[in-house]
Structure 1
Amino acid sequence: MNNLEPTDSRDDPRVVPDRLKLPFSFDPNLLAGALANLGSTWTPHYVPENYSGDWSVIPLRAPRGETHPVRMIHSDPTQRTFADTPDLQNSPYFREVLSSFQSTVLAARLMRLAPGSVVKEHTDVGLRFEEGLVRVHIPVLTNPAVEFYLNGSRVVLTAGSCWYLRLSDPHRVANRGTSDRVHLVVDLKVNGWLTKLFRSELSALRGE
Structure 2
Amino acid sequence: MLSPLEKKRIFEIDRVKLPIVFDSNKILEEIRKLNLETFEYYDVLPLRAPAYLVDTSLPFPAPVGDYADGSWTEWMDTKTFQGCPYINEVVNTFKQHTTVNLVRILRLSGNSVVKEHTDPTLALEEEKSMIRLTIPVTHNPECQFILNGRLVDMKPGECWYLKLNDPHKVINEGNSERINLTIDLIPNKWIVDLIYKSIG
TM-score, normalised by the number of residues in structure 1: 0.80
Q: Does 1:120 align with 2:120?
A: no
Q: Which amino acid aligns with 2:48?
A: R
Q: Is the 8 A contact 2:133 2:161 kept in 1?
A: yes
Identity %: 39
Q: Does 1:93 align with 2:86?
A: yes
Q: Which of 1 and 2 has higher RCO (CA within 8 Å, sep 6+)?
A: 2
Q: Is the 8 A contact 1:5 1:14 kept in 2?
A: no
The residue number in structure 2 matching 1:20 is 16
Aligned length: 184
Q: Is the 8 A contact 2:11 2:124 kept in 1?
A: no
The CA deviation at 1:198 is 1.8
Q: Which amino acid aligns with 1:86?
A: K
The CA deviation at 1:39 is 2.1
Q: Does 1:77 align with 2:64?
A: no
Q: In angstroms, what is the RMSD of aligned CA positions?
A: 2.4
Give the distance between the partners of 1:161 and 1:154, measured in 2 at CA.
15
The CA deviation at 1:41 is 4.3
TM-score, normalised by the number of residues in structure 2: 0.83
> Can you give the 5+ residue segments of structure 2 that lack an aligned partner in the other structure?
56-66
CA offset digits 1:139-176 (Å, max 9, x no partner): 11111110110001111111111100011000000111
Superposed, 1:3-152 pairs within 5 Å as 4=2, 6=4, 13=9, 15-41=11-37, 54-67=41-54, 77-80=68-71, 81-101=74-94, 102-131=97-126, 132-152=129-149
Q: Does 1:194 align with 2:191?
A: yes
> In structure 2, the residue corresponding to 1:97 is in which secondary structure?
helix
CA offset digits 1:77-110 (Å, max 9, x no partner): 3533211011110100110000111211110100
> In structure 2, the residue corresponding to 1:190 is in which secondary structure?
coil
Q: Is the 8 A contact 1:82 1:106 kept in 2?
A: yes
Q: Is the 8 A contact 2:48 2:102 kept in 1?
A: yes
Q: Is the 8 A contact 2:107 2:177 kept in 1?
A: yes
The CA deviation at 1:133 is 2.0
